[in-house]
Amino acid sequence: MTPTLLEAALARFEPAGAGEEADLARLRALAATPDPWDRRQPLHVTASALVLHPPSARVLLRWHERLGRWLHVGGHGDPGEADPFAIALREAGEETGLDDLVPWPDREDPALVQIAVVDVPARAPEPAHHHADIRYLMATATPEQARAESPTTPVRWLDFDEALELVGTDNLAEALRRARDALTRRPG
């Protein structure tokens, strides 16, 4: 049987450490279900991106109103969507206003930079649940065109030290470190 796009993306991913290996195992099991994107499941897949401007070595973060903190962009698949990169790209475009986003560092080969199973607290009408978040790196050549999706969800370009200070020690900090390391290895 041909693997789904989600299964194919996960098959190419190399986890860094036991925690990410455990998250990958959960994601692979979830990917084998009929609809891993179904928001009604207590654990479901989300797709996201760290948006970079490689020439200035900056990353774009978005205020997440529901969680009350700065995060990367991304979210849920819409009904019928199954391509994780396409979902991350759509979400990133909607949340930033950027229409020139491309996979980075390889425009032809979107690769996951991180996977993480994250807790989402309850908020009416949704109960507490978990996102199995798959994360890509994307780049823009037009950072000045970034716009907030709404007045309550501003976006900010930050250097990596500023971004790491804002997000603290959660799993997003690890994604930011990986993005910074990738930029160091391949500037521009």
The predicted pLDDT at position 5 comes to 96
What residue ranges do the domains of the chain occupy? 5-120+129-185
**CA separation for the pair 150, 118 (Å, rounded):** 24
The predicted pLDDT at position 99 comes to 97
Mean of per-residue pLDDT scores for the chain: 95
pLDDT in tens, 12-26: 999 999 999 999 999
Token look-up 């928001």 returns 39
Residue 120: name the closest of 173, 67, 174 by CA: 67
Q: Is the pLDDT of residue 187 over 70?
A: no
Per-residue pLDDT band at 169 (split at 50, 70, 90):
confident
Share of the chain above pLDDT 70, in %: 98
Residue count (the chain): 188
Superfamily of structural domain 5-120+129-185: Nucleoside Triphosphate Pyrophosphohydrolase (3.90.79.10)
**CA separation for the pair 158, 94 (Å, rounded):** 20
Q: Which residues pair with 47 in a beta bridge?
A: 75, 134
pLDDT in tens, 83-98: 999 999 999 999 999 9
The predicted pLDDT at position 188 comes to 53
Mean pLDDT of 56-81: 94
Mean pLDDT of 75-81: 94
Half-sphere exposure in the Cβ direction for 119 (13 Å, CA): 4
